[in-house]
Amino acid sequence: MASFATTECFLPLQQSFLAPTHHRQGNGTSSTVVLLPRAAPAPHHSKSLSFSFSSQGTNSCIAVGRKDRSSFAQTAAVRYLMGSVTRTQGLRFAVVVARFNEIVTKQLLEGALGTFRNYSVKDEDIDVVWVPGSFEIGAVAERLGKSGKYHAILCIGAVIRGDTSHYDAVANSAASGVLSAGLNSGVPCIFGVLTCDDMDQALNRAGGKSGNKGAETALTAIEMASLFEHHLK
C-alpha cells in the first residue's frame, strides 16, 4: 500500500461516504475531512490539493488538504482473499503421480483421493495420470494445466537418495518442473513430491507417523483451486 506524506497530486477516490469531520494535525493546523461518494468526480482544483496518509489497523485514510484548509479523505477497508476448502462444487483436479517408488507414491495417491472425497470433490472431477518418475511430472503437469480442463494439478512423487548425486538432479528438476508448470499454464500446480534420504522417511510421510503428504497437498490443491476460481478470475 503506498504511503503519502504530503504530495501535490490527485488520488482517484475509490470509495468513501459523505461524513465531514475535523482532523487536528500535530502542527496545530486542522483540516476538514469530507468523505465523498464512491467514484466522486475529481475536484476541478486538484492541482491545489495536498495529501496525508494514515492507517490504523485495517483501515487507512488519505486526508486531502486544500490550500484553503478544507479537505476531504478516503477511507478504505483492506480486502482479504482466500480460497475456501468448503466450496469445491464444480472444481476439477488432475493428479500426476510418479510410478518410481510406487510403494510410497500409491499411498500418497490414496491419501490425496481420500482428502478430495472428504471435501466433497466428486470422483468424476478427478483425473489421475501416471508417469514413469518425478522427473517427468513437470511436463505432464504443464500440458494438463494448459488443457483448460482443471482448476488445479496435484503432483505426487517420491525421490529417495541413493549412492550418487542423481538424487539432487531428480529432486531439483521435479521441483522446478512443477513450479514452471504452474507459472507457464496459469493453473495452480501443487508440489506433493517427497524428497527423502531413505525409504523409512518416505513411508513415514506416506501414511506413517509423519502423516500423509498426499492428503496434505490435496487440501492445498483445493484451496488454490478455489482461490483462483472464486477470487482471481
- Minimum Å gap between C-beta 139 and ligand LTPLIIQW is 18
One residue of 10, 119, 130, 167 binding ligand LTPLIIQW per CB under 6 A: 167
Residue 207 is placed in which grid cell? 501414511
Binding-residue total with ligand LW54GNZ2 (CB under 6 A): 13
Side-chain half-sphere CA neighbours of 33 within 13 A:
19
Residue 207 has φ and ψ, to the nearest 5°, of 110, 5
| Window 132 to 161, contacts with ligand LTPLIIQW (CB under 6 A) | 159-160
- Minimum Å gap between C-beta 211 and ligand LW54GNZ2 is 20
Looking at 38-165, list the stretches that DSSP marks H as alpha helix, in order from N- to C-terminal side: 102-118, 137-146
Residue 211, by phi and psi: left (phi above 0), alpha (psi -120 to 50) or beta? left
For ligand LW54GNZ2, give the closer residue by CB, 140 or 158: 158
- Enumerate residues 6+ apart whose C-beta is below 8 A from 19: 33, 34, 35
Strands 126-131 and 152-160: unpaired
- Minimum Å gap between C-beta 204 and ligand LW54GNZ2 is 16
- Cα 200 to chain centroid distance, Å, stands at 32
One residue of 166, 176, 183, 200 binding ligand LTPLIIQW per CB under 6 A: 166
One residue of 35, 62, 170, 189 binding ligand LW54GNZ2 per CB under 6 A: 170
Residues assigned a catalytic role: 166
Does 99 engage in binding with ligand LTPLIIQW (CB under 6 A)?
no
- 3-state SS class at 32: strand
Does 131 engage in binding with ligand LTPLIIQW (CB under 6 A)?
no
Give CA–CA dist 153/131, Å, rounded. 14
Does 93 engage in binding with ligand LW54GNZ2 (CB under 6 A)?
no
Between 100 and 139, how does the x/- string for binding to ligand LW54GNZ2 read (CB under 6 A)?
Answer: xx------------------------------xxxxx---
Cell 500440458, residue located: 143
- Cα 62 to chain centroid distance, Å, stands at 28
Helix axes 137-146, 166-185, angle to 10 degrees: 10
| Window 138 to 157, contacts with ligand LW54GNZ2 (CB under 6 A) | 157
Does 173 engage in binding with ligand LTPLIIQW (CB under 6 A)?
no
- 3-state SS class at 227: helix
| Interacting residues toward ligand LTPLIIQW by CB under 6 A | 159-160, 162-164, 166-167, 170
**Contact residues for ligand LW54GNZ2 (CB under 6 A)?**
98, 100-101, 132-136, 157-160, 170
